[in-house]
Structure 1
Amino acid sequence: MGLRKRQRMIVVVLALALVGAAAALVLTAMQDKIAFFVSPADIASGTVERGRDFRLGGLVVEGSIERASDGSVAFTLTDGAGDVRVLYAGILPDLFREGQGIVAQGRLEEDGRFRAREVLAKHDETYMPPEVADALKRSGHWQEGAEKLR
């Protein structure tokens, strides 16, 4: 093998190694910042890891909202196939209400309740986050005609 070919091969291998190392560092640094989406049915099936941040989406169950004197709120979130009790201490979005599609970000506690750090409500009557819509479709609670609204 010629000297020039060997030098090119060494440069290519070193470049690939550097790119791989940089990608590994970025993914390691972002590991705690990445939040996966799960549905209440996923939690009910027991496949969700406790103590790790993720997004939970579904519909707020009618009659499940309980407000405490300290300003915190508890409510139940469903996708039709499973229910999860959500605890949140903070200001809820103006559009938050029963029957509303929401996405909450937080962690699943050992007792099975979800402690939310952030609660997001859909921004108008026709929009639903794609993850929530997909979970509702899987559980059979999807309203026909809403698919074109995403």
Structure 2
Amino acid sequence: MTRKQKRLTLIGLAGLVLVAAVGLVLMALGDKITFFTSPSDLADGHLRPGTRLRLGGLVEPGSVERDTGTTVRFRVTDGAKSVAVSYTGILPDLFREGQGTVAEGTLAADGSFRADTVLAKHDEKYMPKEVADALKASGHWQEDAAKATPKR
């Protein structure tokens, strides 16, 4: 074997090891990765029930219903579409109607969302970029918040 052939063989083997390592990492993280989506994205219907994701938007005014106990039902909207969310647990102190929120959980077969974690935003300055873009597209974005949001 010549020197050039040895070098090419070594590079090829290193490439195979790298591809195998990336494949193993992606397989290990496959169930742990949580994607972010807006209510408009959920309305498209391209996600399967049971898919784990983060849903972000504003709590729709007049939609919060509290059951006896710690179960709360509310709707999250991006201005264009809204999604029903149910959550069992203690809500953050800053959670209220008209306020930004991010709920993490799974999509139910009926199109509703079952959250196991709810985060409340105290203003639009800390909203994820995807939620801010969805609110801008629907016309619900406030210009003062846009000036305060850092550029990426």
Identify the TM-score tier after normalising by the shorter chain.
Answer: over 0.9
State the Cα distance separating 1:125 from its structure 2 match.
Answer: 6.5
Q: 1:136/1:98 Cα in 2 relative to 1: closer, same or farther (>3 Å)?
A: same
Q: Percent identity?
A: 58
Per-residue CA shift, 1:108-144, capped at 9, x if unaligned? 1011110011111114564322221111112221111
Tell me if the contact between 2:71 and 2:88 (Cα under 8 Å) persists in the aligned partners: yes
Three-state SS of the structure 1 residue aligned to 2:33 is coil
2:30 equivalent in structure 1? 31
1:52 is displaced (CA, Å) by 0.9
What TM-score do you get using the length of structure 2 for normalisation? 0.91
Instruction: Report the CA distance shift for 1:25/1:125 in structure 2 as closer, same or farther (over 3 A).
Output: closer
SS in 2 for 1:84: strand
Residue 141 of structure 1 corresponds to 140
Q: Where does residue 132 of structure 1 map in the other structure? A: 131
Alignment gaps of 5+ in structure 1: none
Give 1:56's aligned residue: 55
* Greater alpha carbon shift after TM alignment, 13-22 vs 3-12: 3-12
| Aligned counterpart, 1:40 | 39
Over residues 59-83 of structure 1, what are the superposed CA-to-partner deviations in whole Å (9 max), with x where a residue is unaligned? 0011111111121111011111101
Q: What is the alpha-carbon distance in structure 2 between the residues aligned to residue 4 and residue 129 of structure 1?
A: 53
**One-letter amino acid matched to 1:21:** A
RMSD over aligned Cα atoms = 1.5
The secondary structure found in structure 1 opposite 2:49 is: coil
Unaligned 5+ runs, structure 2: none
Could you give the per-residue CA deviations for residues 2-49 of structure 1, whole angstroms, max 9, x where no partner exists?
611111111100000000000010011111111111111112222233
Q: Could you tell me how far apart the structure 2 residues matched to 1:125 and 1:24 are?
A: 38
Q: Give aligned pairs, total.
A: 149
Per-residue CA deviation, residues 81-113 of structure 1 (Å, 9 max, x unaligned), is 101000011111111111010111111101111
TM-score, normalising length from structure 1?
0.92
The answer to whether the Cα contact below 8 Å between 2:60 and 2:77 also exists between their aligned partners in 1 is yes
CA contact (8 A) 1:37 1:55 kept: yes
Q: Is the 8 A contact 2:99 2:123 kept in 1?
A: no
2:85/2:114 contact within 8 Å kept: yes
Query: Which contiguous aligned blocks of 4+ residues in structure 1 show a shift greater than 3 angstroms?
Result: 123-126
